[in-house]
A and B are shown apart, each in its own frame.
Chain A
Amino acid sequence: MALEKPYYSLLGVSPQERKKMLEEIGVSDVMELFSDIPPKVILKESPTLPFDPMTELELVEFFNELANKNVNPNDLTVFLGGGVRQIYVPALIDELIRRGELYTAYTAYQPEVSQGILQLLFEYQSLVAELTGMEVVNASMYDWSTATAEAALTAIRITKKDTLVVASPLTKARKSVIHNYLEPQGFKVREVSLEENSPLVDLEKLKAAIDDNTAAVYLEMPNAMGYLDPRAKEISELAHDVKAKFIVGVDPLSLGLVAPPGEYGADLVVGEGQPLGNAVNFGGPLLGIFAFNYDRKEIRRTPGRLIGITKQLKSGKKGFTITLQAREQHIKRAKATSNICSNEALSAVISAIYLSALGPRGMEELSTGLHKRALFLREKLAETGKVEIMYPEIPFFADFAVKFPVENHEKFISTMVSKGFVPGAPWDYNNELYVLGVSELHDKQHIEAFANTLKEVL
């Protein structure tokens, strides 16, 4: 074999070494090691891929080409939220998270050599517990949607009842994820319709939907359209009246300003942790937040890894380890609380660093800054005289809904993109309605330019 094969840099053993090793174990041809595979499925040669092997620089050039097919983010102002958000990643995060000791590590099943990441995950659990007003946070789920579904399953296991009542409008994707996690096991999802001209559920209909079969009531704060439900405390009581669990979904960026769910009676809190320091990455990896209050029995019904603090036997000092593993699939198999194994640990570590970097004042400034950007954006859109602001009386955090007076929405969006703006996203159930969100990247100038462009286009 010639030495110019680009992939040699990713193999630990050279062809001549491999030959010697095979000789040493009495194998004359490496394919003998595959003699137990039916010969008719053995490939005579390697499969054809859309590309030939590349050297590192060739790969970089290939990725430059791909990158150039994407819009340059500096040329596009994106008014999108919905749980995930564009953020600025502070420089120290990438510097720290690229330490090979952290990102090339396996799950910390050998705690003695994994104290670093275990402590960081314990810190993540502790900081998100502070943020949400809960006592326990697991070491992550995949994303907000799967965390919500798993929270519903947890409530079902605890209450031994079978129905989730949804007290917020959900995106189609989240609704579908919840359905896929609940329906196969025979559990039910009951949706409640919205009040007329409101992004909030009809309270009377919600009351009628909650009954003795209700395992949990799920409320999003803010909801998928950006709005906060001022009746959260009341809804929590409705759930507790029938001994159902109250699950709250949050945008953690709101919690420097908005009340944490622990203040209004949440039993389980879920949410999207991506904007806590993780680049948006076209929607993944995300970070499913899963928090709850400690109860000796109920904790054994919850999914996901938990990191605990204990003492080291020999030194007597503090140490960290994965605990309560008897709930997990590698021990309990078919009887496990969830099938989750790989989670989003490194995203959680990033969030721990980000929350530590922000501190209490940074968190408050960030939340308040986002809210004020959204207020300013709404004001400027109203001033155009062309945009209809929806639900002006309902409080919101950093996203809200509008109507643009256009016939051809596809054309409107592509016109706006050509002028450097994404004017929100059409709401899943009504493409007359757009949900707009702001981010820390936005300045007044971006928002004013956006409003001016809308005046021209509309």
Chain B
Amino acid sequence: MNDPEYTHQARWDEPLITELINTGKRCYIPKRFQYDKDIAIPDNLLRKTELRLPEVSELELVRHVVRLSQMNYGVDLGPVPLGSCTMKYNPKVNETLVRYPEFSMQHPLQPEETVQGTLKAMYLLGEALKSLTGFTGITLQPAAGAHGEFTGVLLIRAYHMLNGETKRDEMLIPDSAHGTNPASSVMAGFKAIEIPSDEKGRIDLEALESALSERTAGMMITNPNTLGIFESNIMDINKKIHDAGGLVYLDGANFNGIMGVAKPADMGFDVMHINLHKTFATPHGGGGPGSGVVLVNDKLKQFLPTPIISYDKEKDKYYFDYNISHSIGHVHGYHGNIAVILRALAYIARMGGEGLREACLTAVTNANYLMHKVMHEDGLELPQDPSIPRKHEFVVSASPLLRETGVSALDIAKRLLDYKLHAPTIYFPLIVHEALMIEPTETEPLSILNEMADAIKNILKEAKENPELLHEAPHTVAGYRLDEATLAKHPILSAKMLEKIKPQWEL
């Protein structure tokens, strides 16, 4: 096991780059262009205020970023078992492939004949994802999962509008859903109606039935849900919603739990998004860019954003297809996060259909294995029936530990950082108190799963012996706990604000 006394991150006293101004130094010097005539912009439109950007040499800038990188943690350093985030390993070759100038240098307004390779890649990704999900239409525009949700519920809205069903303004959402679901629904003009879960962590069928009405536009379901539990009644649920005149949206955040094993379209879903930065191994980038492509069945194809990518077999030509009868238009300025789409295609090409299924089987094995290693530990409890197999993730509650020792899920998460591990998702889903939501993914080796289990067990022991140690954790990484309360009250969000406020602490 990792020694929690060891230092696991560098601690550099790295100044803000914004402090390094007025030095006269240069780093990147733009290519010159000799043209002796004057600029042709009137004086009142020219910059008057001094532009206070840093002045550093190339070496100084490189050191600055390398040092800061040493104060950051990612999958390349250790596991990031965040539930519902699917932090897989990001294959290195993909990073090289997307940087080919033939891909990276193309402007989105270029004529189709100059970008046939990129269009083919976009088309192939679409076809592969259709095969995996059973859907018949796809848009690649959404730049993130939540953007995909928004797009998907806009499609549902367009469907009801076309059918003259303008009163359908309610979107049903289980209480275990990601926060993006209700937020996306509201942005698409719906009221978010919360549906409780039953004691098994699944959608409460009675509650669902009583919520369905002529105002139901649809339901957003995460399946497997955020407890890692598959909604076994899904066909029944989807039928009930359809019978009430609604459509069903699948939040594909957890697609890794069923990929290659079952197709969402076969379960009766009408539309789903897929987070390419989760299931298809593209990097998360410290928060983005991701991609939230949206797949639909025949009911919704005619509403997809324009253009889609089509293939003319006769001319062997890939093209932007604007021929969508009731398109909602655009949700992105261009065609989506192409460099992410290329990485996802590269991943799929390497795995093949067979490999993707194996990835799912392994991810689910890893999650259930780790769950069995920790669920009986004193201090933790499994909030739902242990006989239900989990899918790619599981949730345990640290409520017993909190009652007994005052050590919270937050403290466990922070202490895990001292063990050279990343914390799981905590306090989510909201229906579980002191939740620890753990998703190891299929790319983590057995040795790491065992390390995680050992670390959790050790922390539970530490909680009883020395709770103070945990309240103050982490101790061995670049940062200590931060004064978040003062910051929220008096935010300092830029160097400019910092200069005005001049805090008393050490910069």
Contact = CB atoms under 8 A, between A and B. Distances in A.
Counting chain B CB atoms within 10 Å of each CB, the highest count among A83, A185, A358 belongs to A358
Contacts of B353: 46-49
Contacts of B483: 310-313
B164 interface: no
A309 interface: yes
B120 A69 contact: yes
Most chain A C-beta atoms within 10 Å of own C-beta, residue among B87, B110, B182, B333:
B333
A107 B359 CA distance: 24
B68 A120 contact: yes
Given A70-B102, A282-B103, A360-B55, A127 B111 contact: no
Contacts of A297: none
B68 to A, nearest CB: 4
B289 A67 contact: no
Nearest to A416: B111
Interface string B331-349: 1111111111000001111
A117 B286 contact: yes
A134 to B, nearest CB: 9
A353 interface: yes
B100 A63 contact: yes
Contacts, number: 757
A278 B99 CA distance: 11
B494 A395 contact: no
B484 interface: yes
A98 B71 CA distance: 15
Interface in B149-178: 149-150, 154, 157, 178
Interface stretch (A15-23, A159-167, A191-199, A206-214): A15-23
Contact of B494 (A21, A36, A126, A143): A126
A299 B490 CA distance: 12
A59 B117 contact: no
A241 interface: no
B210 interface: no
B478 A113 contact: yes
Instruction: Tell me which of A88, A117, A233, A339 has the highest count of chain B C-beta atoms within 10 A of its own C-beta.
Output: A339
A123 to B, nearest CB: 5
A263 B43 CA distance: 13
Contact of B346 (A48, A63, A102): A63
Interface stretch (B255-263, B401-409, B455-463): B255-263
Interface string A34-58: 1111101111011111111111100
B95 interface: yes
B1 interface: no
A174 B71 CA distance: 38
A27 B104 contact: no
Contact of B505 (A59, A112, A311): A311
B192 interface: yes
A256 B47 contact: yes
Contacts of B214: none
Given A54-B350, A126-B16, A126-B495, A284 B183 contact: no
B377 to A, nearest CB: 15
A317 B58 CA distance: 27
Nearest to A53: B352
B339 A180 contact: no
A18 B235 CA distance: 31
Interface residues of A, number: 220
A142 B332 contact: yes
A386 B210 CA distance: 71
A397 B42 CA distance: 11
Nearest to B232: A36
A126 to B, nearest CB: 4
Contact of B66 (A99, A100, A305, A333): A99
B438 interface: no
Interface in B482-499: 482-484, 486-488, 491-498
A304 B391 CA distance: 31
A414 interface: yes
A451 interface: no
Contacts of B289: 284-285, 342-347
A125 B90 CA distance: 27
B144 A341 contact: yes
A443 B482 CA distance: 50
A345 B287 contact: yes
B121 A106 contact: no
Contacts of A228: 41, 45
Q: Which of B52, B102, B188, B260 has most chain A Cβ within 10 Å?
A: B102
Given A102-B74, A112-B479, A130-B53, A70 B118 contact: yes
A371 interface: yes
A15 B13 CA distance: 46
Given A104-B75, A113-B9, A137-B494, A313 B261 contact: no
Contacts of B44: 230, 233, 259
B274 interface: no
Contact of B482 (A36, A171, A319): A319
B46 A259 contact: yes
Contacts of B390: 33
Contacts of B29: 362, 365
B168 to A, nearest CB: 13
B355 A53 contact: yes
A316 B115 contact: no
Contacts of B235: 38, 41
A272 B37 CA distance: 29
Interface string B446-486: 10100000000000000000000000101001111111101
A413 B113 CA distance: 11
Given A49-B352, A126-B18, A358 B30 contact: yes
B139 interface: no
Given A114-B72, A176-B329, A46 B350 contact: no
A82 B109 CA distance: 9
17 contacts: A7-B358, A103-B286, A106-B422, A107-B284, A143-B143, A173-B329, A173-B334, A180-B330, A281-B339, A284-B108, A309-B493, A311-B482, A316-B506, A319-B480, A323-B488, A328-B179, A372-B37
The 3 closest A-B pairs by CB, nearest first: A100-B76, A7-B355, A283-B108
